[in-house]
């Protein structure tokens, strides 16, 4: 029997990656962990984020997964600190997205993410290394991920925050493509599009799912089932999951559970 793919995130955002995986790899079983209790990660220190991430990775180890997708951009900026500590391969969300943007041959790119992600400059450095002519406008948000994690999808506050961020970026210069560099943001992609229909939005979830598919194919690890299942674990309230599952049209949910990753991993 083939093992599952593990997907982890600071909260519900990583379900955007699950959605892309279910489209690209419908036969795979997926184990999801969202650390809703400690979300948002984007306003925490690197030490805190690392410690919480290792708890989730230990949980994934206890589930005997064959690969882990770090859906969270914020956690992905720290990948070098934990990727070699586990037996399973760990795939970040930033590298495949950077490769995709480079292939698009575009020059004016906006990147909106958590304060942590933007401050690390990870996207900016990786893009400029591959194309020194690319023009990047980075915008960090303190509150957007938290609002989405609280289920405020179609909400005036969420709309206002997105509007302010888009205005900030536009004031700094022209952008044609906008990377939704936080997994929570594609959940409210419709609001972004409504406010700025001229922008081409880039959802990193598709690129990460492609990278996972490629890795599994190269290593002969693809499942041969027709239909895979989705097992959801959260450290916090699971009510919001019903709302996201419906919005993203996620399929074949086996169970939704609340767990403490520390206790569950033992």
Among residues 17, 57, 60, 72, which one is catalytic? 72
Instruction: Find the binder of ligand DGL among 183, 207, 223, 234 (CB under 6 A).
Output: 183
Does 118 bind ligand DGL (CB under 6 A)? Our answer is no
Beta bridge partners of 31: 6, 231
Nearer CB in complex with ligand DGL: 202/223? 202
The 3-state DSSP class for residue 89 equals coil
- State yes or no: residue 40 binds ligand DGL (CB under 6 A): yes
Question: CA 240, CA 155: separation in Å to the nearest integer?
Answer: 14
Least separation in angstroms between CB 53 and ligand DGL:
11
**What span, in angstroms and rounded, lies between the C-alpha atoms of 113 and 141?**
6
Residue 69 CB, shortest distance to ligand DGL, in Å, is 12
Beta-carbon contacts of residue 166 (< 8 Å; ≥ 6 apart): 192, 195, 196, 199
Going from the C-alpha of 102 to that of each of 60, 133, 204, 213, 228, the distances in angstroms are: 32, 11, 13, 20, 32
Q: Which stretch binds ligand DGL (CB under 6 A): 25-33, 182-190, 209-217, 238-246?
A: 182-190
**Contacts with ligand DGL in 56-95 (CB under 6 A)?**
72-74
- The answer to whether 182 is a known catalytic residue is yes
Q: Is 41 among the residues that bind ligand DGL (CB under 6 A)?
A: yes
Packing angle between helix 94-104 and helix 122-130, nearest 10 degrees? 40
Residue of 4, 6, 10, 205 interacting with ligand DGL (CB under 6 A): 10
Nearer to ligand DGL, 22 or 53 (CB): 53
User: Closest separation between CB of residue 41 and ligand DGL, Å?
Assistant: 4
Q: Which of 162, 221, 167 is nearest to 194 (CA)?
A: 162
What one-character-per-residue DSSP string does 114-125 give? EHHHHHHTHHHH
Residue 232 beta carbon to ligand DGL: minimum distance, rounded to whole angstroms: 16
Q: State the catalytic residue, choosing from 8, 78, 148, 182.
A: 182
Question: Which of these ranges, 8-16, 20-28, 58-66, 190-198, lies near ligand DGL under the rule CB under 6 A?
Answer: 8-16
From the list 102, 140, 103, the residue with the least C-alpha distance to 121 is 140
Q: Is 156 left (phi over 0), alpha (psi -120 to 50) or beta?
A: alpha
| DSSP three-state, residue 258 | strand
* 39: annotated active-site residue: no
- Contact positions toward ligand DGL, by CB under 6 A? 9-11, 13, 39-42, 72-74, 113-114, 117, 145, 182-184
């Amino acid at each position: 029997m083939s093992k599952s793919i593990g997907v982890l995130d600071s909260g519900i955002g990583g379900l955007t990656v699950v959605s892309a995986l279910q489209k690209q790899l419908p036969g795979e079983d997926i184990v999801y962990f969202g650390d809703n209790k400690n979300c948002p990660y984007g306003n925490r220190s690197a030490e805190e984020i690392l410690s919480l991430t290792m708890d989730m990775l230990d949980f994934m180890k206890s589930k005997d997964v064959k690969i882990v997708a770090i859906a969270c951009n914020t956690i992905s900026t720290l990948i070098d600190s934990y990727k070699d500590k586990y037996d399973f391969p760990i795939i970040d969300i930033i590298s495949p997205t950077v490769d995709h943007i480079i292939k698009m041959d575009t020059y004016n790119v906006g990147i909106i993410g958590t304060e942590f992600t933007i401050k690390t400059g990870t996207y900016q450095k990786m893009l400029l290394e591959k194309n020194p002519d690319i023009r990047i406008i980075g915008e960090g948000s303190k509150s957007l991920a938290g609002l989405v994690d609280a289920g405020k999808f179609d909400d005036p506050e969420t709309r206002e925050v997105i509007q302010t961020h888009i205005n900030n970026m536009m004031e700094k210069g022209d952008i044609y493509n906008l990377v939704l560099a936080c997994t929570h943001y594609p959940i409210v992609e419709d609001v972004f599009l409504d406010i700025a229909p001229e922008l081409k939005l880039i959802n990193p979830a598709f690129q990460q799912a492609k990278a996972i598919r490629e890795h599994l194919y190269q290593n002969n690890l693809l499942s041969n089932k027709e239909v895979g299942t989705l097992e959801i674990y959260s450290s916090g309230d699971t009510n919001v999951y019903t709302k996201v599952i419906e919005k993203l049209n996620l399929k074949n949910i086996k169970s939704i559970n609340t767990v403490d990753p520390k206790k569950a991993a033992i």
